[in-house]
Amino acid sequence: MSNYPVEAIRTVALVGQGDSGKTTLAEALLHKSGAITAAGTVERGDTVCDFDPLERDYRHSLSSALVHFQHDGAEIRLLDTPGFPDFIGQAIPALAAVETALVVVNAQNGIELTTRRMMAWAAERGLCRMLVVNKIDAERVDLPGLLAQLREAFGREVLPLNLPADGARRVVDCFFNPAGTADFSSVAEAHQALVDQVVEVDEDLMARYLEQGEVTPEELHAPLERALREGHLIPLCFVSARTGAGVAELLDVLARLAPNPTEGNPPLFYKGEGEAALAFRSEPDPARHVLAHVFKVVIDPFVGKLGIFRVHQGTVTRDTQLFVGEGRKPFKVGHLLRLQGKRYDEVDRLVPGDFGAVAKVDEIEFDAVLHDSHDEDHIHLQPLAFPVPMQGLAIEPKRRGDEQRITEVLQRLVAEDPCVKVDYHPATHETVLRAMGELHLRYLLDRMAGGFKLEVATRPPRVPYRETITRPAEGHHRHKKQSGGAGQFGEVFLRVEPLPRGAGFEFVDAVKGGVIPGQFIPSVEKGVRSVLAAGPLAGFPVEDVKVTVYDGKSHSVDSKDVAFQAAGRRAMLAALRAAGAIVLEPIVAIEITAPEARLGDLAGDLTGRRGQVGGTEPLAQGLTLIRGQVPLAELEGYAGRLKSITAGQGAYSLELSHYDTVPQEVQQRLAAGYKAEQEED
């Protein structure tokens, strides 16, 4: 394998709304660069990035894919990501692995939900952002209008690097080229606007520019990278991945203008935990200690668990000894891999900016930091914010004897996708698989059946209600058991108080004089926490409660762990019953994209589900974005209802907003149902 400097590497993530053509664009870039001899298509199912059988069936990306290619001396590392909101858990991690986010926009549909989200998330991570308008040769597109919309939505920093020409059959460069003819606007004016924007970040260059009237492209390189880092410039490129218009020019932009690892904003790492954690930036120096971040985990049926990482600092070679997070025992890199779609290529070394993978290391998990020195113990990357998966299905194996196997399969699904969760509800004995939406759940079930040969039965789960308290109260219990020989004794007095919504649980030891010996306080806490799993009112988990243990009694012979666990549990139950327990329900933020003509029907439907419309926003092509909040319990069957109202043209996404008190009649029904279950048991 040839050696190359860090400065030659470009790391890029293709992100944006589903159906914007990201995978087709990746295929066009691979073909134009010479990495593949012929471009595949999504329709034929033969693209490099969509290689999973389910991706061929669904005809869109379901997981992020890695490819690499060379152009004009640049080593380009590219991540193709899914664009549908259901698969956002595969797209967000890409933002932790790259310097540049290429946000792809469908020229026909304009600014869509994921476009806005990715622009915002990329800005939060300090990434250099570029917009790529794809499908410029499609019917009924208004490219001048779309450019104006993009500038209105994302600021005057959005400036075209090129413009369509000859009826969108090609594009003409506006950065290096000061003149030319385009389908709309003026190449000269676009060039002038770019130069004016870039020189603003360099006072000396701006003074020279104002005095002389021109600057060379070489003089613009350093201030251009600074403008990208600071978000002072958001370049825009026009392409048609289908015909190839603008693809060669986009390759030039990536090679000549996109930042290398030494020019982008280095990622923020933290050493330590909580408020005491110290923030620092990695250095893209091949000679320093290794710091690499695992941004993707794949469970491959042939090679096992695959940890895919980005090297941020140092050099990883075969036979390197690496630690995983806080692990005390290193693993030896036996096979160092680079991914090209589904193909695994062995390499000798990886430097800062490179993507790589290691197989069969059980300790590797998503978001882990790999390092080669104990000096880097307790280090983690700036955490990514993932939406909470709210759509759920209760599942159980169809075949007896598959109980252990279903646990193993679910663990694999969770390991691969941070937006997949599995909950077990002891009160209902339900195992609930949670995902981002119905499409996401369908994909997971298809993976179970096809990839793991596991058939499961499903049903709607109970809504994940919670319980909390409304007033302070006290609880007391004396546990005393004598049955010949050594007995059991423990007595606990405690106080419960409500905490602000979302605060969780707090345990305070306020015992004075050693009336409860210190070694038994953890036992009391264990007993208290055992109550939190199923509250006394309706059997739901208890949260937002502060528990203070302030008094008790012990016995020099008979006191033991089990006694104080029992006393803590009974005292906690007594306190909760006296503390005005209430049931809380999850309220989700909902975003609906639908035809503007259906706005009134959708707003009325949300109101009928105890929801509220928070606002609307016009989108392109006669679509409207509706934002609102609605109880999750009221959304059963909503996908079908939305499809009916919008004739299949609507889409929605959910994200947990907060928990709020359920109406009194709902609480009475839930409490009565729980009481009946208890009596049956």
Query: pLDDT for 222-254, tens place per residue?
Result: 999 999 999 999 999 999 999 999 999 999 999
The mean pLDDT value of the chain amounts to 91
Rounded-to-integer distance, Cα 163 and Cα 236, Å = 9
The answer as to whether 44 is a domain residue is yes
The predicted pLDDT at position 1 comes to 47
Q: Are residues 174 and 281 in the same domain?
A: no
**Quick one: 278 and 151 in the same domain?**
no
- Residue 69 three-state SS: strand
Q: Is the pLDDT of residue 548 over 60?
A: yes
Q: Categorize the per-residue pLDDT at 634 as very low, low, confident or very high, splitting at 50, 70 and 90.
A: very high
* 150 pLDDT more than 90: yes
Whether residue 628 lies inside any domain: the answer is yes
Do both 661 and 548 map to the same domain?
no
pTM: 0.77
Amino acid letter, 258: A
Residue 225 located in a structural domain: no
Residue 144 Cα to chain centre, angstroms: 33
Q: Which neighbouring-strand residues pair with 402?
A: none
Q: Using alpha carbons, list the distances in angstroms from residue 488 to 223, 481, 485, 521, 565.
A: 75, 5, 10, 16, 11
pLDDT score at 228: 95
Digit-coded pLDDT (tens) for 581-630:
999 999 999 999 888 889 999 999 999 999 999 999 887 667 888 999 99
Q: CATH number of the domain that 647 lies in? A: 3.30.70.240
Q: Which range (184-198, 304-318, 608-622) has the least confidence? A: 608-622
Confidence of residue 681 (pLDDT cuts 50, 70, 90): low
Answer yes or no: is pLDDT of 428 > 70: no
Tokens of 491: 């007595």
Judged against a pLDDT cut of 50, whether residue 348 lies above it is answered with yes
What's the pLDDT band for 654 if we cut at 50, 70, 90?
confident
Which among 459, 485, 503 is the end of a domain? 459
CB 654 within 8 A of CB 620: no
* 541/499 same-domain check: yes
Token pair for 21: 């053509």
Q: Where does a domain end: 346, 381, 416? A: 381
Specify if 213 maps to a domain: no
Domain end (from 553, 579, 605): 579
Distance of CA 255 to the CA centre of its chain: 28
Helix 217-229 to helix 187-199 angle (10° resolution) is 70
Domain with 288 in it: what CATH number? 2.40.30.10
Residues 246 and 305 in one domain: no
Rounded CA gap, 503 and 602, in Å?
34
Percentage of the chain with pLDDT > 90? 66
How many CA atoms lie less than 13 Å away from 375 in the CB half-sphere? 6
Do 104 and 159 lie in one domain? The reply is yes
Q: Tell whether 554 and 610 lie within a shared domain.
A: no
Do 327 and 191 fall within a single domain?
A: no
Above 60 in pLDDT, residue 427?
no
| pLDDT value at 30 more than 60 | yes
Same domain, yes or no, for 441 and 304? no
Say which CATH number the domain at 428 has.
3.30.70.870
Residue 47 domain-assigned? yes
For 252, phi and psi rounded to 5 degrees? -65, -40
Number of domains composing the chain: 5
Highest average pLDDT, of 51-55, 199-203, 471-475, comes from 471-475
Q: Return left, alpha or beta for 476; rule: phi > 0 is left, psi -120 to 50 is alpha, else beta.
A: beta
pLDDT at 91: 94
Partners of 475 in beta bridges = 494
In a domain, 210, yes or no: no
CA distance 445 to 434: 11
Question: Any idea how long the chain is?
Answer: 681
Nearest residue to 98 (alpha-carbon basis) of 271, 277, 261, 320:
261
Looking at the fold, whether 274 and 242 belong to one and the same domain comes out as no
- Residue of 610 and 208 predicted with greater confidence: 610
Residue-level pLDDT at 594: 86
Whether the CB-CB separation of 306 and 297 falls below 8 Å is answered with yes
> Based on the domain organization, do 341 and 425 belong to the same domain?
no
The answer on 539 and 513 residing in a single domain is: yes
Is 207 domain-assigned? no
Domain region containing 554: 467-579
Output the domain CATH number for residue 521.
3.30.230.10
* Residue 677 located in a structural domain: no
